Amino acid sequence: MKGLGFGLERIGVAALRHPLVFSILLVIVTTIAAIGIPSVKFNGNVISVVPQQSINFKNYDKQKRDFRNFSRDVAVIIKSPRIKTASGLEDLRYMQLELAITDGISSAISLFSIPDPDPATGELRQFFPNQIEDDVEAQALLERLIKDYPQASSLISEDQNIVLLLVALDLGINSGNDAQAFAAFENLKKSVEASAPKDFEIYYSGLTPIGLTILDTLINDQVRLTLLGLGFGALIAMLFFRSIVAAFVCAVPPMLTAVWSIGMFGIFGIPITYLTTILPTLALVLAYADGIVLYHRWNKLNCLPNSSGNIDIRANLKEAVLKIGPASALTSLTTAFAISSFALSSSEALAEFAWIGVILVIFAFLAVIVGVPVLGIWLMKIGLIKQHIQKPQSYHLVVFLVKSMNTIQ
């Protein structure tokens, strides 16, 4: 069994021999990681999953550099029973003018952007007059607009209760900057809210609002998944071992894993995406599984006294590390290799998912193989766990019966 883990369980043995050194290392690494957590960034760009070596992505990137990023355009959908009335059209015109002068917006297109060439001179005129007198004129203008310019139907629904405002965000050369795009979108929303009447229902469509939604979801999910994962794991350990100390020992490695994982994103400036957001939770789940198994083995060994009738808990912890460590190392390695297979994908996002996943699996293993032995030593030193326990003679009969039942099973 010892050869299965390639000797990696010896890290845990070294931690038992030099608990102070490894404790200092744990504190330093965890502190550095915790400092990096506030710097964590999230990336809601859905384009990142597209293979960046494909011809279509290269064409998209060239268009973005040579012209502008059209994918950042936002469709403002406006629904109101007054759209076909004179007052509704005037309110729409006012909204378009307000958006056109809003910071971060380069242009706003609506029904009022459609030109009406003069048949005689070819001069471009506005289709709509400067002032729409009444609802009858408004209805007539809309009907003539759809009849003369069928393409206008893409800006207004058939029942004329919904219209579209196409807004181009002014991002300049930073067209791929998510933060700038989201800031411009927030300015757009504020301008719409300030200029839209109360009976105008406003909806937003496009990659920018979708990306912002993904960004908010990533932040909320990262916090929720991490806290729920830690909470459920501690609850399971508590129910299984019926001990607060046991639940604490089993919870520390996942907490270390979570802090190291999320802190790594902040320290190295790696944004968390909708793919990598699951990796910290996956790593802490692995740490919980291995930690509970290691503690269970230690707890089981503590039921068996040595030849002198004592239970040497420190020696049993070393034995548990040597017994469980190889299996834990092997499962961690196979999990890391499985995740690394995503690196063969042509998608840069999946390749990033692969190498980050491998690192976090290693974090989970180290948190368990170092965290449990070090924590066990300190709990012994402060007296929460007794290092040597003398059992009464009647206890040997109980141990004999338990071993007999295990043999029969």
The CATH number linked to 349 is 1.20.1640.10
What pLDDT digit, counting tens, does each position of 187-211 carry? 888 888 888 898 899 999 887 887 7
Same domain, 17 and 79: no
What was the pLDDT predicted at 156?
A: 86
- The residue from 205, 239, 268 where one domain ends is 205
Residue 282 domain flag: yes
Tokens of 360: 């976090």
Q: Which is more confidently placed, 336 or 304?
A: 336
Residues 268 and 399 in one domain: yes
Q: Do 198 and 248 sit in the same domain of this protein? A: no
Within-domain flag for 64: no
Alpha-carbon distances of 350 from 45, 211, 268, 346, rounded to whole Å: 14, 18, 18, 8
Whole-angstrom distance, CA of residue 267 vs CA of residue 37: 8
pLDDT in tens, 266-290: 899 888 887 888 888 889 889 998 9
167-180 residue pLDDT tens: 888 765 445 566 77
Categorise residue 122: left if φ over 0, alpha if ψ from -120 to 50, beta otherwise.
left
Residues 321/373, Cβ–Cβ less than 8 Å? yes
The SS3 assignment for 240 reads helix
Residue 273 lies in a domain: yes
Cα–Cα dist 83/163, whole Å = 8
Q: Let me know whether 359 and 317 are in one domain.
A: yes
pLDDT per residue over 380-408, tens digit each?
A: 888 777 655 444 444 444 444 445 554 54
Answer yes or no: do 370 and 396 share one domain: yes
Neighbours of 262 (CB within 10 A): 23
Residue 365 has pLDDT above 90, yes or no: yes
The verdict on 118 and 162 lying in the same domain is: yes
Beta strand 310-312 with 388-390 is: antiparallel
Residue 61 lies in a domain: no
Query: Distance between CA 17 and CA 85 in Å, rounded?
Result: 83
The answer to whether 205 and 45 have CB atoms below 8 angstroms apart is no
Per-residue pLDDT at 49 exceeds 80: no
Q: Is 24 exposed, middle or buried (0-12, 13-18, 19+ CB in 10 A)?
A: exposed
What are 119's two structure tokens?
């048949």
Q: What is the structure's pLDDT at 218?
A: 78
Q: Is 78 helix (H, G, I), strand (E, B) or coil?
A: strand
Residue 158 confidence (pLDDT) = 65
Task: For the chain, give the percent of residues with pLDDT over 70.
Answer: 82
Domain count within the chain:
2
Query: Do 144 and 269 lie in a common domain?
Result: no
Mean pLDDT on 118-145: 83
Mean of the per-residue pLDDT values for the chain?
81
Radius of gyration, alpha carbons of the chain:
32
Calculate mean pLDDT across residues 106-125. Answer: 80
The string of DSSP letters for 160-191 reads SSEEEEEEEE--TT-TT-HHHHHHHHHHHHHH
Who's near 59: CB < 8 A, 6+ residues apart?
Answer: none
What DSSP line would sit under 18-32, residue for residue? -HHHHHHHHHHHHHH
In the 8-state DSSP scheme, what is residue 384?
Answer: S
And the tokens for 170?
A: 């002014």
Looking at the fold, whether 190 and 254 belong to one and the same domain comes out as: no
Residues 274 and 404 both lie in one domain: yes
Residue 300 to residues 17, 245, 310, 313, 403, Cα–Cα distance (Å): 22, 15, 14, 11, 11
Which of 205, 230, 258 is the last residue before a domain boundary? Answer: 205
Q: Are 167 and 105 in contact (CB under 8 A)?
A: yes
Q: Which of 180, 205, 230 is the last residue of a domain?
A: 205
- Say if residue 329's pLDDT is above 80: yes
pLDDT value of position 133? 86
In angstroms, rounded to a whole number, what is the distance separating the alpha carbons of residues 376 and 384? 9
Bridge partners of 78?
A: 163, 202
User: Whole-angstrom Cα distance, residue 377 to residue 135?
Assistant: 84
Nearest Cα residue to 356 out of 246, 409, 281: 281
Asked, for residue 382, whether it belongs to a domain, the answer is yes
Q: Are residues 402 and 287 in the same domain?
A: yes
Q: Is residue 56 situated within a structural domain?
A: no
Cα–Cα distance, 228 to 284 (Å, whole number): 11
Select from 350, 361, 343, 220 the least CA-distant residue to 290: 361
Task: Collapse the DSSP code of 117 into the 3-class scheme (helix H, G, I; strand E, B; otherwise coil) and give the result.
Answer: strand
Same domain as 87, residue 13: no
Collapsing DSSP states into helix, strand and coil, what is residue 74? Answer: strand
Confidence class for position 309, pLDDT limits 50, 70, 90: low
Tell whether 67 is covered by a domain. no
pTM of the shown model: 0.70
Let me know the angle formed at the C-alpha of 368 by 272 and 339, rounded to the nearest 5 degrees.
45
pLDDT at residue 369 greater than cutoff 90: yes
What is the C-alpha to C-alpha distance for residues 304 and 191, in angstroms, rounded to an integer? Answer: 73
When pLDDT is averaged across residues 108-125 and rounded to a whole number, the result is 80
Angle separating helix axes 244-267 and 348-381, nearest 10 degrees: 140
Domain carrying residue 281 = 2-45+216-408
The per-residue pLDDT for 409 is: 45
Residue 58 resides in a domain: no
Q: Which two tokens stand for residue 168?
A: 């181009």
Do residues 364 and 226 both lie within one domain? yes
pLDDT tens digits for range 57-75: 677 667 666 666 677 788 8
